Amino acid sequence: MSLLVLGTVAFDAIETPFGKTERVIGGAATYISLAASFFRTPIYLVSIVGDDFPQAFLDELQARGIDTGGVQVVQGEKSFFWSGRYHNDLNTRDTLDTQLNVLTKFTGEIPPAYQNAEYVMLGNLDPKLQLKGLESVSRKPKLAVMDTMNLWLDIARPAVEEVLAKVDVLSINDEEARQLTGEYSLVTAARKILAMGPEYVVIKKGEHGALLFHQDEVFVAPALPLEQVFDPTGAGDCFAGGFIGYLAESGDVTYENLKSAVMFGSVMASFCVEKFGPERLLEIDSNDIQQRLKQFLSLMRVSAEMPPR
Amino acid sequence: MSLLVLGTVAFDAIETPFGKTERVIGGAATYISLAASFFRTPIYLVSIVGDDFPQAFLDELQARGIDTGGVQVVQGEKSFFWSGRYHNDLNTRDTLDTQLNVLTKFTGEIPPAYQNAEYVMLGNLDPKLQLKGLESVSRKPKLAVMDTMNLWLDIARPAVEEVLAKVDVLSINDEEARQLTGEYSLVTAARKILAMGPEYVVIKKGEHGALLFHQDEVFVAPALPLEQVFDPTGAGDCFAGGFIGYLAESGDVTYENLKSAVMFGSVMASFCVEKFGPERLLEIDSNDIQQRLKQFLSLMRVSAEMPPR
């Protein structure tokens, strides 16, 4: 089934304790669509770049089954640029520079050919554009997932809440869940978010894994214990891409299958952090994914029974 | 099989964001032996208290199958006292007061009747006393587990390392694992700890669960997502008590069974944090444990398979 991905395609400059890049390709929609492209689903990518963005990379995406016809290339403009420095724990970072550039011209218009998409992934973006994208889809999607970030909670909370009321899944990190709800406990935060509209909430906790909440149910997925997280940039987006890509291929949006999707999200995120930018995603194939999934499942394999009393 | 528990029996005064207690019963060995007492294994408790410690509580322990004959009551002395205040995140705390009192007289002497114990739990204590306790056991125990804390790493590291070389399992929290090894990554930290002697390392991460490392294997256990952690005091000790209590009852120290033991440790810790001090442990029974275990296993239940390619 077809998957619409709305979000940024951009440049990043990243510093981590392990190294530094000048300018690499980044953007939420880049990571999402790359991670989703390992699943058999047509992907419609809607984004905007300047004329500095390498056509070769768009061609690479296209070759991977991602329809980039919805990526608007604006002559005379520069692509969105973000630069950040991660602290030693890799869970916190400082933004060094944000240049919106061409992003100020983005309208979130969905090309007519994409409006029949059955799965919709709203990457982190101005919630007004997320809303416009979602409303452009011609019928209610089988599943709509949104991500957001602290910036939008600070400056556009009502619009975030408006999108939230219309999607099926919110995918968010722990600090954002706390900011959105004013609750420290993630269980209470999730309960409040579910009351705001979505049927599911995924709370991503980085090296501590992810939680999926649905009604009174919780599923806890581990992160892969790694010796070295090289660069966490894009990990949350890869999670979202693996999550929705798997669901779009399987066409099954039951709670049980969303739990499986969380595992594929975790798998894709675990590859992402192994190298700078999207580099690692360009190297792996579906065998690697299968192997990594096995590794994840073996992390959680246990039987335990209270001895008879 | 018999379980020897060496550690403190004491008083605590605790402040959390949810309330404050004047003076409640605490101590690592109290929590360990209470948590272990839900499993069918004779427990030999070795500790020291002053004449201010309530005999009724020792009687309560005795009634629960914990042999308190090894708890020395010193007339004219006060019991060990610790007071602390937890921060809002409940993962960090400040020590407000520590009064060693009778603890300065503790020799770690193991009564002859206890020296045939097959399982040994060395609660957080001066490593010299842990070593003495371990060496008093007449034959090599089937499994010896140690806990420790930052204080001993600061002031008695060589002795900690000496004990570490002689036990089978180190049970430690994430910050202590980092302090012990100088490694931020818990995977690297665990590898270094395994190289120091023990066959297994359990790293406790509070609300993020626990990791069990053995050779190149890792098992990840979740914590129960709770709306409210009332008081984390003793949670790590309850983990250790549930862990070794289950192992002592089952008599099986394979890696597979240690994974099950991690689940029972997590279950006991999840009860502990629900009320102040050991209060909650005095209310539950084996049915509650069985129910909670089911809840834990359902948190982790998932099947996931890469769709055929």
**Res A157: pLDDT:** 97
Q: What is the ipTM of this complex?
A: 0.93
- Cβ of A290 within 8 Å of Cβ of B306? The answer is yes
- B23-42 average pLDDT score: 97
Are A74 and A127 in contact, with CB atoms under 8 Å apart?
no
- Cβ of B226 within 8 Å of Cβ of A187? The answer is yes
Residues with Cβ within 8 Å of residue B52, at least 6 apart in sequence: B11, B78, B79
**Res B88: pLDDT:** 78
Within 240-269 of A, beta carbons closer than 8 Å to B belong to 246, 249-250, 256, 259-260, 262-264
**Average pLDDT score, chain B:** 96
Question: Looking at the complex, does the CB of residue B290 fall below 8 Å from at least one CB of chain A?
Answer: yes
- Cβ of B186 within 8 Å of Cβ of A218? The answer is no
Residues with Cβ within 8 Å of residue A297, at least 6 apart in sequence: A263, B302, B304
- Neighbouring C-beta atoms of residue B181, cutoff 10 Å: 18
Q: How confident is the model at residue B92 (pLDDT cuts 50, 70, 90)?
A: confident
Query: pLDDT digit string (tens) for A179-208?
Result: 999 999 999 999 999 999 999 999 999 999
- Cβ of B299 within 8 Å of Cβ of A218? The answer is yes
Suggest the residue from A91, A285, A300, A303 to mutate for an interface test with chain B (most B CBs closer than 10 A): A300
Question: Looking at the complex, does the CB of residue A306 fall below 8 Å from at least one CB of chain B?
Answer: yes
Residue A89 has pLDDT above 80, yes or no: no
Measured between beta carbons, the chain B residues lying within 8 angstroms of A263 are 302, 304
- A206-223 average pLDDT score: 96
Residue B220 has pLDDT above 90, yes or no: yes
**Res A286: pLDDT:** 96
* d(C-alpha A212, C-alpha B103), whole Å: 46
**Res A230: pLDDT:** 86
- Cβ of B205 within 8 Å of Cβ of A209? The answer is no
Query: pLDDT digit string (tens) for A21-46?
Result: 989 999 999 999 999 999 999 999 99
Are A69 and A91 in contact, with CB atoms under 8 Å apart?
no
Question: Looking at the complex, does the CB of residue B282 fall below 8 Å from at least one CB of chain A?
Answer: no
- A116-122 average pLDDT score: 97
Distance from CA of A264 to the nearest CA of B (A): 8
- Cβ of B302 within 8 Å of Cβ of A262? The answer is yes
**Res A18: pLDDT:** 83
Q: Give the phi and the psi of residue B76 in degrees, each rounded to 5.
A: 80, 5
Question: Looking at the complex, does the CB of residue B182 fall below 8 Å from at least one CB of chain A?
Answer: no
Residue B227 has pLDDT above 90, yes or no: no
Place of tokens 């275990």: B293
- Cβ of A187 within 8 Å of Cβ of B211? The answer is no
Residue A87 has pLDDT above 80, yes or no: yes
Say which of A186, A246, A306 has its CB closest to residue B290.
A306
Strand locations in chain B, DSSP E? 3-6, 10-16, 19-20, 24-26, 43-50, 66-74, 81-86, 93-99, 119-122, 143-146, 169-173, 200-204, 210-214, 217-221
- A227-236 average pLDDT score: 90
Measured between beta carbons, the chain B residues lying within 8 angstroms of A290 are 306
* d(C-alpha A40, C-alpha B136), whole Å: 64
Question: Looking at the complex, does the CB of residue A89 fall below 8 Å from at least one CB of chain B?
Answer: yes
Instruction: Name the burial class of residue B139, with classes exposed (0-12), middle (13-18) and buried (19+) by CB atoms within 10 angstroms of its CB.
Output: exposed
Are A115 and A137 in contact, with CB atoms under 8 Å apart?
yes
**Res B185: pLDDT:** 92
Question: Looking at the complex, does the CB of residue B36 fall below 8 Å from at least one CB of chain A?
Answer: no
Distance from CA of A107 to the nearest CA of B (A): 36
**Res A90: pLDDT:** 79
Query: pLDDT digit string (tens) for A91-107?
Result: 788 999 999 999 999 99
Q: Within its chain, how far is the Cα of B39 from the centroid?
A: 15
Amino acid at A124: N
Measured between beta carbons, the chain B residues lying within 8 angstroms of A185 are 226-229
Suggest the residue from B192, B302, B305, B309 to mutate for an interface test with chain A (most A CBs closer than 10 A): B302
Suggest the residue from A220, A230, A285 to mutate for an interface test with chain B (most B CBs closer than 10 A): A220
- Neighbouring C-beta atoms of residue B54, cutoff 10 Å: 12
Query: pLDDT digit string (tens) for B71-90?
Result: 999 999 999 999 999 987 77
Are A196 and A241 in contact, with CB atoms under 8 Å apart?
no
- Cβ of A299 within 8 Å of Cβ of B228? The answer is no
Query: pLDDT digit string (tens) for A237-267?
Result: 999 999 999 999 999 999 999 999 999 999 9
The 3-state DSSP class for residue B61 equals: helix
The 3-state DSSP class for residue B205 equals: coil
**Average pLDDT score, chain A:** 96
- B79-108 average pLDDT score: 91
User: For a pLDDT cut of 90, what percent of chain A falls above it?
Assistant: 92
The 3-state DSSP class for residue B231 equals: coil
Q: Give the phi and the psi of residue B144 in degrees, each rounded to 5.
A: -120, 130
Are A34 and A104 in contact, with CB atoms under 8 Å apart?
no
- A80-90 average pLDDT score: 89
* d(C-alpha A237, C-alpha B140), whole Å: 51
- Neighbouring C-beta atoms of residue A275, cutoff 10 Å: 15
Residue A134 has pLDDT above 80, yes or no: yes
Residue A88 has pLDDT above 90, yes or no: no
Question: Looking at the complex, does the CB of residue A88 fall below 8 Å from at least one CB of chain B?
Answer: yes
Question: Looking at the complex, does the CB of residue B87 fall below 8 Å from at least one CB of chain A?
Answer: no
Query: Among A12-21, A81-90, B112-121, which range has the highest average pLDDT?
Result: B112-121
Cα torsion angle, B174, B176, B181, B183, sign:
positive
**Res B229: pLDDT:** 83
The 3-state DSSP class for residue B89 equals: coil
* d(C-alpha B31, C-alpha B123), whole Å: 10
**Res B24: pLDDT:** 95
Q: How confident is the model at residue B27 (pLDDT cuts 50, 70, 90)?
A: very high
Are B222 and B297 in contact, with CB atoms under 8 Å apart?
no
Ordered DSSP codes for chain A? --EEEES--EEEEEEETTEE-S-EEE-HHHHHHHHHTTSSS-EEEEEEEETTS-HHHHHHHHHTTEEEEEEEEETT-PPPEEEEEE-TTSS-EEEEEEE-GGGGG---PPPGGGTT-SEEEE-SS-HHHHHHHHHHSSS--SEEEE---HHHHHH-HHHHHHHHTT-SEEEEEHHHHHHHHT-SSHHHHHHHHHHTS-SEEEEE-GGG-EEEEETTEEEEEPPP--S-----TTHHHHHHHHHHHHHHHHT--SHHHHHHHHHHHHHHHHHHTTSSTTGGGGT--HHHHHHHHHHHHHHT-----PPP-
- Neighbouring C-beta atoms of residue A152, cutoff 10 Å: 21
**Res A178: pLDDT:** 96
**Res B228: pLDDT:** 82
